[in-house]
Structure 1
């Protein structure tokens, strides 16, 4: 099965890098440059999983995550936060906001794909 991934990051180079990491592994990638655009794209066509940056203009990743978790239509969307903010408080804040995982930037292709596959497997196991 080909999973759809929404990559949310305000850096075009990061978006390109993630696309180059994910597409060869069979993921269908769409992108958003900030939190408000991400919420629109989730509403239009709910992806299977989201990779979400924390520090972005217009709406940060923590707020995006909380917004998604508070909406009954999107509350089960798997979210992996990928951020340069890696101190313990930032990781805790991301997980408390509802992220399934919190990964540091940069991350290796192998680690990213492993985490995507694990989260997708976990969420598939609990969905009806």
Structure 2
């Protein structure tokens, strides 16, 4: 995996592709999700915690956020709720990722404002399909 990540910056990408913010406290998950999204033509920015994510959302206005729920400090549910409470960021779609997959956990994700929910371990192909569905390519 490391070797693939090392060559990723040299591979061609759409310079004007949509930007996705990937937020997860697990570096391995962040790297995998980022790599798969970049290979699908998306620009990415990452954060390891909820506070940093909120700052980046305000500064970069990503087109979509992939957000872990369980993180130290500010959790993903709180980040999603705050995003959707702010008119400037309320329309940014969120895909929640979590190892917690009870019906209650999934309901909480949707109540906080998430458009999609994927359980961990995440299937990278399914994640890219969901991102493609939420961010159709502009020709």
Q: TM-score, normalised to structure 2's length?
A: 0.84
In structure 2, stretches of 5+ residues that fail to align are: 1-15
Q: 1:20 aligns with which of 14, 29, 35?
A: 35
Alignment length (residue pairs): 122
Once residues 23 and 35 of structure 2 are traced to their aligned partners in structure 1, the CA distance between those partners, rounded to angstroms, is 15
Report runs of 4+ in structure 1 exceeding 3 Å deviation: none
Q: For residue 92 of structure 1, what is the aligned residue in structure 2?
A: 107
In structure 1, stretches of 5+ residues that fail to align are: none
1:10 match: secondary structure: coil
Between 1:1-10 and 1:58-67, the stretch displaced more is: 1-10
Higher Rg of the two aligned structures:
2
Once residues 66 and 132 of structure 2 are traced to their aligned partners in structure 1, the CA distance between those partners, rounded to angstroms, is 12
Once residues 75 and 19 of structure 1 are traced to their aligned partners in structure 2, the CA distance between those partners, rounded to angstroms, is 23
Q: TM-score, normalised to structure 1's length?
A: 0.91
* Residue 81 (structure 2) pairs with residue 66 (structure 1): yes
Once residues 100 and 134 of structure 2 are traced to their aligned partners in structure 1, the CA distance between those partners, rounded to angstroms, is 21
1:52 match: secondary structure: strand
Aligned-pair Cα RMSD in Å = 1.2
Once residues 131 and 122 of structure 2 are traced to their aligned partners in structure 1, the CA distance between those partners, rounded to angstroms, is 12
